[in-house]
Chain A
Amino acid sequence: MTREQIRSDIFELLKKTAPETDPTRLGPDENIREALNIDSFDALQFLVAINEKMGIDIPEEDYGKTTTLKSLTDYLELRSKAGN
């Protein structure tokens, strides 16, 4: 999975989670939840959707690594390379 693919998946899923927003305007180091006004329930839904789409299950202790667009992309890239 390329980094580009990952990014576009993230945008698609964020849009689904928060339809009224435009995730493509997120800065790389912006806190996603704060910027898009995503509450904890929606955040969980978003991670579930990532799991469904990419087959990557993010454990709770890694939630902290998924707060910005950059860190999330890095994390997913790493995990997908690791074969998962």
Chain B
Amino acid sequence: MTDFKMPSLGADMEAGTLVEWRKKPGDLLQPGDIIAEVDTQKGLIEIEVFEGGILDKYLIEVGDKVPVGTPMASLRPEGTTGVPAKEVKEQVHPIQEKEKPEEAQATEHSEKVNIPSKEKLSEEKSFKDKPSEETSSEEKLSEEKHRIKISPLARTIAEKNRLDLSGITGTGEGGAIIKADVEKAMAAKKEEKHEETLEKKIEEQVPERPVKEQKTTEPAAAGISPQESIRKAVAAAMSLSNREIPHYYLEKRIDMLKALTWLKETNQQREISARLMPAVLFIKAVAKAIDSAPALNAVWENGLQLKNEINIGFVVSLRSGGILVPAIKNADLKSTDEIMISLNDIIPRARAMRLRSSELSESTITLTSLGENGADKVFGVIYPPQVAIVGFGSIIDEPVVQKGMLAFRPVVHVTLAGDHRATDGLTGSRFLEALNNHLQNPETL
């Protein structure tokens, strides 16, 4: 038994309407016989059979519009008899119901309401498209307000150098920032840096004043000690974080043997004042790993805003309680020695509460390291509006399987807490993997 199907008579023919059967069930068909007449968008066409046989049963009725490929009639070989009527009913009926493609029914339906299905589809589509288009144009507008006009070349250079564009005046078309403007700003920045160092040196020479009198980061309200105000500030920030930031946590155990060996060898050749701490490696590794996951180096303010500079907020705990998180600016551009110098500068000042407010507000990602003899792992709370905090537990010896052998190795458990609004675990994992790679190559840090 074979089916005679609605033939395809042209690439542009999608369906045909049966107008007339030319053969009756029981008729003997020869190849080339006209079996039916079908109406198409090009007019009435006689359709022929290419195989002989006896027309067994109609599968569609006159007036039915069916897509190309729909069985129209079943044929049986010459010399066989028809299937008993009862069986036919059982067999054919389901075919009609099931095998008629859904499209066909849809076409019939849409013809009843007198809308060609194709047009209807496109109508629906355009209707759907509309709101989304509006949103996108709105987005565009608001985006444009904040947009800085800059040539692609200038942007490339600025990004490479992590140059903040907000202060640069453009001299290109329509006030766009061009290469020359960026280069000028970079030269200015270099000078500024130079001045900053000078300032610091002068500051260092100023005799120390008693703690009480020293400037605090947040102006302390009358009657409240600096410590109390820091505690309060930390409390507020952490509560806000807990309330608003959906944290996700990832952890990775990192083998520190190579890093520590390198550190030991390096420090051996150095005077004590020039020696490095493991934290330096952590800071530099984090800064470098951001390349693999730039979205972690960002703030969440009306959406995610990626930061060009990598300023690592380093958690300094105060012996009197509370923490301060001064930034190590442009950590990716600093050498490990320079980072150590930064730490030497910043930690004592933090402890003495002599930080500039800018140093507390410029971090783009936070790093907390428990140092020796601390807990094995630390699960940080993100410091808003940042979107990530990386936590280093104490370096401890743990059994590690190496080439099938069990060995004790110094390891550190690194955790990443990420803002799930901004990034997801995949980004975080990529970051931790990169971090691991960097720590396995300490000499390149």
Contact = CB atoms under 8 A, between A and B. Distances in A.
| Touch test A–B (CB under 8 Å) | yes
Interface of A: 18-21, 33-34, 37, 39-41, 44-45, 47-48, 51-52, 57-60
B277 interface: yes
Interface of B: 211, 264, 267-268, 271-273, 275, 277, 279, 317, 319-320, 343-344, 347-348, 371-373
A47 B268 CA distance: 15
A37 B272 contact: no
A44 B320 contact: no
* Best-surrounded residue of B211, B273, B320, B348 (most CB of chain A within 10 A): B273
Dominant SS among interface residues on chain A:
helix
Given A57-B272, A60-B268, A44 B319 contact: no
Nearest to A50: B272
Contact of A40 (B267, B277, B319, B344): B277
A60 B275 contact: yes
16 contacts: A18-B319, A21-B319, A39-B371, A40-B277, A41-B279, A41-B347, A41-B371, A44-B272, A44-B275, A45-B347, A47-B272, A57-B271, A60-B264, A60-B267, A60-B268, A60-B275
A26 B372 CA distance: 21
B36 to A, nearest CB: 91
Contacts of B268: 59-60
Contact of A51 (B271, B279, B347): B271
Contacts of A44: 272, 275, 277
B369 to A, nearest CB: 9
B213 to A, nearest CB: 14
A29 B344 CA distance: 29
Given A40-B371, A60-B264, A20 B319 contact: yes
A34 B267 CA distance: 24
A20 B320 contact: yes
A39 to B, nearest CB: 5
Contacts of B344: 45
Contacts of B372: 40
A47 to B, nearest CB: 6
A40 to B, nearest CB: 4
Contacts of B317: 39
Given A39-B371, A45-B348, A58-B272, 20 more contacts: A18-B319, A20-B319, A21-B319, A34-B373, A39-B317, A40-B277, A40-B279, A41-B343, A41-B347, A41-B371, A45-B344, A45-B347, A47-B272, A48-B272, A48-B273, A51-B271, A52-B273, A59-B268, A60-B264, A60-B275
Contacts of B373: 33-34
* Best-surrounded residue of A33, A39, A51 (most CB of chain B within 10 A): A39
Contacts of A21: 319
B259 to A, nearest CB: 14
Nearest to B266: A60
* Best-surrounded residue of A20, A41, A52 (most CB of chain B within 10 A): A41
A35 B347 CA distance: 20
Contacts of A40: 277, 279, 371-372
CB-CB nearest 9 A-B residue pairs:
A40-B371, A51-B272, A48-B273, A57-B272, A40-B372, A60-B267, A39-B371, A37-B319, A48-B272
B393 to A, nearest CB: 13
A50 B317 CA distance: 23
B319 to A, nearest CB: 5
A34 B320 CA distance: 15
A55 B279 CA distance: 26
Contacts of B277: 40-41, 44
A39 B323 CA distance: 13
Contacts of A52: 273
Nearest to A39: B371
Contacts of A18: 319
A41 B343 CA distance: 9
Contacts of B272: 44, 47-48, 51, 57-58
Nearest to A19: B211
Contacts of A33: 373
Contacts of A45: 344, 347-348
A80 B348 CA distance: 28
A71 B273 CA distance: 22
Nearest to B372: A40
